[in-house]
Amino acid sequence: MSEKIAIIGAGAAGMLAAGRLYEAGCDVTVFERNDKPGRKVAITGKGRCNLTNNCTPEEFLSNVVNNPRFMMSSLYSFTPADTMELFEELGVPLKTERGNRVFPVSDKAYDIVDALKKYMGVKPINKRVTKLTVEDGCVKGIVTENGQHYEFDTVIVATGGASYPLTGSTGDGYSLAKQAGHTVTPLIPSLIPLITEERQPAEMMGLSLRNVRLDVHDAEKNKIIFSEQGEMLFTHFGVTGPLVLSASSNMHDMQKGRYKIIIDLKPALDEKTLDARLLSDFKKYTNKDFINSLGDLLPQKMIPVFVKTTGIPADKKVNVLTKEDRRIILDTMKNLTYTVKGFRPISEAIITSGGVNVKEINPKTMESKLVSGLYFAGEVIDVDAYTGGFNLQIAFSTANAAAKAIRGY
């Protein structure tokens, strides 16, 4: 009698694991609580699906924030290049964009979802799994929410995290893991927008900044814990955008006033060069009010907020600005600072940081060290990375490792 395998969750990890097992002729059943598989995949990368990062495994691991060592074996077994090759074989042409981000040429996430659905080979059963049955340290099956019991020899938990609950990531995998005796590390939102104490960001709502540098200062450690250049956006609650999302994954144990974000609006110019530029602009607008002299350096929507931040009267004539005024303007341009009040709700996080403790999972096979025949794949495991295709690749690599171990090659 052939081994019966259950996969809980038809997201990126679940579908790839199912496809790997199906092509090896295994008896696979997939359970998915949503009526459609891959709902979270469909909204990643703003609906374009940034499915991996076209970099070496070494570069990849440097972008894994939580437990990179755990990922070494599975990542080298199924690299970003392998992911790209698989999707090209499945008929999805790919392209690499800035930051080595990989997207389908069509810019349609549904092309990735459709390819995975086809690859999966089986139609998921649209039921929520609420319980694992475990006897004598071995997995024996699952129970669905209507009380129906199914017998299985092997179970892969690939339920996702606790972010984006509308896509089915409601944290079911964590309760299943706990039932089996696993430890779940504290769940915190990661790759998430930040709420600021100050109201100024709300006054610039909708303003997007490009090529700025964002530093995060941790008052507890008294040091900069993140520094990167890129894009960000001001919102009604604070800040978001790629830079902010990456910065958020470095913030742990959020406390009032612990973290400050410092924005360098002109990272390409050192202070001396920027000062020369200011002098040049002030000469050009010598008879104007201060507020009307910044249009060549700053976006229009930012100027009133910027002027207010400097404390220099908006109607002060440029020709009477002092050297001290110029120093304040320069400092504000290079160090526009806001205090982080907290994260947005976990439901808005792109991923969940925390999950099933990696010490309880075999990194080569993804099998539980506590329960024979129980495997984990994807976001349910306590591994997460920066934005840029890294988290989907983690799902693919861990799913591949589990499938490879189950099929025995």
CA 331 – CA 302 distance, rounded (Å)? 16
Task: Tell me what the pLDDT averaged over the chain comes to.
Answer: 93
Position 158 pLDDT exceeds 60: yes
Position 382 pLDDT exceeds 60: yes
Q: Which band of pLDDT confidence, cut at 50, 70 and 90, is reported for residue 167?
A: very low
Mean pLDDT, range 345-367, rounded to an integer:
88
Token output for 35: 């009526």
Give residue 97's pLDDT: 94
Give residue 163's pLDDT: 52
Smallest Cα–Cα separation from 40: which of 163, 197, 153, 126?
163
Token output for 43: 């909204």
Answer yes or no: are the C-beta atoms of 245 and 192 closer than 8 Å: yes
Give residue 260's pLDDT: 97
Mean pLDDT, range 223-228, rounded to an integer:
94
**pTM, two decimal places:** 0.76
Answer yes or no: are the C-beta atoms of 333 and 297 closer than 8 Å: yes
Give residue 254's pLDDT: 83
CA 138 – CA 147 distance, rounded (Å)? 21
CA 207 – CA 202 distance, rounded (Å)? 10
3-state secondary structure 196-262: ECCCHHHHCCCCEEEEEEEEEEECCCCEEEEEEEEEEEECCCEEECHHHHHHHCCCCCCCCCCEEEE
Give residue 217's pLDDT: 97
Give residue 168's pLDDT: 42
Mean pLDDT, range 238-265, rounded to an integer:
90
Least trusted range by pLDDT, from 3-12, 180-189, 262-271, 316-325 = 180-189
Token output for 60: 């990849």
Give residue for tokens 């437990």: 67
* Dihedral angle sign, alpha carbons of residues 391, 392, 394, 398: positive
Give residue 250's pLDDT: 86
Position 255 pLDDT exceeds 90: no
Residue bearing the bigger pLDDT, 41 or 347: 41
CA 326 – CA 279 distance, rounded (Å)? 9
Residue bearing the bigger pLDDT, 163 or 345: 345
Position 393 pLDDT exceeds 90: yes
Answer yes or no: are the C-beta atoms of 49 and 112 closer than 8 Å: yes
**Pairing, β 238-240 against β 223-234:** antiparallel
Q: How confident is the model over 133-155, as pLDDT tens digits?
A: 999 999 999 999 999 999 999 99
At residue 381, the 3 state secondary structure works out as strand
Give residue for tokens 């008879």: 287
Residue bearing the bigger pLDDT, 408 or 269: 269
Round the CA-based radius of gyration of the chain to a whole number and report it.
25
Residue bearing the bigger pLDDT, 79 or 350: 79
Position 252 pLDDT exceeds 80: no
Q: Which band of pLDDT confidence, cut at 50, 70 and 90, is reported for residue 349?
A: confident
Q: State what percent of residues in the chain have pLDDT above 90.
A: 82
- 185 residue type, one letter: T
Mean pLDDT, range 176-189, rounded to an integer:
90
